[in-house]
């Protein structure tokens, strides 16, 4: 709960400092009116954030910052939520913060360096899957659209 409280406080300070407006303006300028280009930039941003921050604080900080931007572009929030979670979960196994990486190393009793080399193919597959669900939204929204009828 301490982590959630600190992340909420950080999100409040970030919002007060008008960082979401700055981020929004930058992303809008870079992507023009192309939502797929916007998702590319958001994927890159979230992959970088996921490498240095744990999932819960990153979600609590980045979610409120990015939600107004994706709503401006008419992107489905359910689809965006799945893409965001997949992005941040990839960060759970990447150094330097990768909590799951460290747990796996302690269970297997091997070094982080050896484990990091061994999981590179898995990370590449996960990033490929991330881009597949990013650019084929029907893979994510098929079941919610089916149930929503």
What string of pLDDT tens digits covers the 149 residues of the chain?
Answer: 776 677 777 777 777 777 777 877 887 888 888 889 999 999 999 998 888 888 888 888 888 888 988 998 899 999 999 999 999 999 888 877 788 888 888 898 998 888 888 899 999 999 999 999 999 988 888 888 888 75
Q: How far is CA 126 from CA 1, 63, 67, 87, 122, in A?
A: 29, 21, 23, 9, 6
Residue matched to tokens 């909420």: 8
Non-local CB neighbours of 111 within 8 Å, separated by 6+ positions: 105
Tokens of 89: 């979960």
**Residue 38: CA count within 13 A, CB half-sphere:** 22
């Amino acid at each position: 709960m301490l982590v959630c409280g600190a992340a909420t406080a950080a999100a409040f300070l970030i919002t007060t400092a008008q960082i979401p407006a700055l981020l929004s303006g930058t992303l809008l300028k870079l992507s023009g009116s192309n939502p797929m280009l916007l998702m590319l930039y958001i994927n890159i941003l979230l992959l970088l954030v996921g490498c240095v921050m744990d999932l819960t604080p990153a979600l609590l900080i980045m979610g409120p910052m990015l939600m107004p931007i994706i709503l401006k572009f008419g992107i489905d929030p359910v689809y965006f939520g799945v893409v965001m979670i997949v992005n941040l979960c990839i960060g759970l196994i990447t150094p330097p913060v990768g909590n799951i990486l460290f747990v796996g190393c302690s269970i297997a009793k091997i070094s982080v360096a050896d484990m990091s080399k061994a999981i590179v193919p898995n990370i590449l597959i996960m990033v490929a899957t991330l881009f597949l669900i990013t650019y084929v939204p029907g893979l994510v929204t098929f079941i919610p659209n089916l149930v929503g009828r």
